[in-house]
Amino acid sequence: MPEFCKIERDSHVTTITIDRPDVMNAIHPPASWELAKAFDAFAADPDAWVAILTGAGDRAFSAGNDLKFQAAGGKLEWPPSGFAGITARWDNAKPVIAAVNGLALGGGFEIVLACDIAIASEKASFGLPEPRVGLAALAGGLHRLPRQIGTKAAMGMLLTGRRIDAREALALGIVNEVVAPGDVLAAARRWADAICECSPVSVRTTKRVALDGLDHASLREAMDARYPAIAELVKSADFVEGPLAFSQKRKPNWKGR
């Protein structure tokens, strides 16, 4: 059984909880390896369509890298899929929703940036304070933040290490919705259920093509590129079922393949 995270499955939704509330869900390598295994299992399960990632308790989503573990000489060996098993997980086409229930600092913020959708508590706050302790946001924050909110806004956070609250995060486009503290998981589940109403193959194709398209310098290059995920969609049972259900005025019976 995992020691540093909890995994729950309800229908097609998997909820993964970082479970180190005594250290504000800070993540050390053993926790990262556990989370990596949890995401490996999610990615491999054809009946798991969406994941929700959150933190235990009501104080923190994750305070980031466990600096006390590092200062005590703990061995820093991270999984190939990155910090928390997600920041370098380039092959996951399934949606991941961050349910940010409190502080998301340093690596904790980098986890949020690695998710596809983020729901934040009104009490949540975000920041990359690594320069204040002689470090740098090397788990993707230095690259994801400028891409997600623009260079000037990102540099204002990166170079000062300042925190922003949930409302500013919403205005910058870092989170999709801000809700009351006790409603974060319910709101994340609402988004997950909306995704599950769609074809899982269409959702995976959409995520893959949208993100792969960002690798191209121009809109025309992105649109002219070939994407293997589109061939997967066209050959899928869902590609047949969707139009058929629409014509028969019934709810689709998605196969996810």
241 is an active site residue:
no
| Three-class SS state of 28 | coil
Cβ atoms 145, 158 nearer than 8 A: yes
Cβ atoms 229, 208 nearer than 8 A: yes
Which contacts of 248-257 are long-range, i.e. CB under 8 A and separated by 24 or more positions?
A: 252/199, 254/198, 254/199, 254/200, 254/201, 256/46, 256/47, 256/49, 256/199, 256/200, 256/201, 257/46, 257/201
Q: Are strands 96-100 and 117-121 parallel, antiparallel or unpaired?
A: parallel
The helix-helix angle for 200-213 and 237-247 (nearest 10°) equals: 120
- Return the H-helix or E-strand segment holding 124: none
How far apart are alpha carbons 154 and 40 in whole angstroms? Answer: 31
Q: What are phi and psi of 71, to 5 degrees?
A: -65, -30
110 is an active site residue:
yes
Q: Are strands 117-121 and 5-10 parallel, antiparallel or unpaired?
A: unpaired
Of 3, 8, 77, 110, the catalytic one is 110
Query: Other C-beta atoms within 10 Å of 237: how many?
Result: 14
- What tokens appear for 150 in the block? 């623009």
Of 130, 168, 232, 241, the catalytic one is 130
Please give the positions annotated as active site.
110, 130
